[in-house]
Amino acid sequence: MRRMRPREETITVGGIGVHTWIGGQGDPLLVLHGAGGNRGWTRWLDLVSERFTVWAPTHPGFGRSGDADWMDGIDDLARFQLWFIDAAGLGRPHLLGHSIGGWTAAEMVAMSPGAINRLILVAPVGLKPERGEILDIFFYSPAQLLTKTIHDPKTVPEWDALYGTPPTPAQLEIAERNREMTARLTWKPYMHNPRLANFLPRVTNPALIVWGREDQIVPVECGEQYRRLLPNARLTVLEKCSHLPPIEQPDAFARLVLDFLGGESCR
């Protein structure tokens, strides 16, 4: 069957317009972006959409979605995205989140395990490292931060399309909006919820955790923490990869996602 081209829709949730990319065929996969915002229909999404219908909403306060001035923590965002599942009629989707989107996904499934099918966490924040620390992303300019989020630009297939030209004024405005909303959601305490670890053992959903070995934003040890706390999880670490596995190694990442979503329980 030939899959349909991706489309963009605005889905209203609690009076907020949520800009959403939708495409593919098969069971729904809800994809939650990180602090950098929704990058649109990238290569890995296209590959995964051969077997799953991808729903990739832009969080309130980011990109072209509406504002949510009342939202001041990731727990609020998690409840909102559970509401999005109902508003979009997704039933019980698979859930994939990256970075702060991964933290949001972890909070969602801890709140309501039955609302989610399989769980994929990609370099999520949310847990405080036992030894290292999560990088203060607000200390660096966007250009400086990019050098830390990607291990080797020469190996990124979509480098030119995503980062090869100077941002337009409109793109700069969106980037600043994304940064402000990220600060509101994650600042105190910085990039973690000290209570989340107490609730993750409740989550028996099959879970895949993906990390880059050279991640300079969130230490790999946090992946081990998530693996220990989630009863039915496995951790895959990609070599020569930093904080953006879906962008740095899209083909390998898409294979991991497809194999996991079509596989058996992790243990």
Confidence of residue 2 (pLDDT cuts 50, 70, 90): low
Question: Do the Cβ atoms of 40 and 161 come closer than 8 Å?
Answer: no
- How far is 221 from 243, CA to CA, in rounded Å? 13
pLDDT digits (tens, 9 = 90+) for 209-239: 999 999 999 999 999 999 999 999 999 999 9
The dihedrals phi and psi of 7, each to the nearest 5 degrees, come to -135, 165
Instruction: Domain 7-261: give its CATH superfamily.
Output: Alpha/Beta hydrolase fold, catalytic domain (3.40.50.1820)
- The per-residue pLDDT for 265 is 41
pLDDT digits (tens, 9 = 90+) for 20-36: 999 999 999 999 999 99
232-252: average pLDDT: 98
- The per-residue pLDDT for 267 is 38
The dihedrals phi and psi of 111, each to the nearest 5 degrees, come to -70, -40
Spell out a b/e string for 240-263, using b for 16 or more CB atoms within 10 Å of the CB, else e. ebbbbbbbbbbebbbebbeebbee
pTM of the model: 0.96
Residue carrying the six token digits 């039915």: 232
Residue 3 tokens, joined: 């899959």
- How far is 36 from 99, CA to CA, in rounded Å? 9
- How far is 82 from 266, CA to CA, in rounded Å? 24
129-156: average pLDDT: 94
Q: Where are the alpha helices (DSSP H) in 11-141?
A: 43-48, 74-88, 100-111
DSSP category for residue 190? T
204-213: average pLDDT: 98
The partner residues of 94 in beta bridges, in order of sequence, read: 29
Residue 20 tokens, joined: 């959403």
Give the full edge-to-edge strand order of the sheet including 53-57. Answer: 7-13, 16-24, 53-57, 28-32, 94-98, 119-122, 207-212, 233-238
Mean pLDDT of the chain, nearest integer: 95
Residue 30's nearest CA partner among 74, 66, 83 is 83
- Give the amino acid at 152: D
Dihedral (CA of 168, 18, 260, 106) sign = positive
Length of the chain: 267
75-90: average pLDDT: 98
- The per-residue pLDDT for 5 is 86
| C-alpha torsion angle, residues 192, 48, 175, 122 (rounded to 10) | 20
In this predicted structure, the answer to whether residue 264 has a pLDDT above a threshold of 50 is: no
Residue 200's nearest CA partner among 71, 68, 105, 129 is 105
Question: Do the Cβ atoms of 25 and 1 come closer than 8 Å?
Answer: yes
Domain ranges of the chain: 7-261
The partner residues of 56 in beta bridges, in order of sequence, read: 21
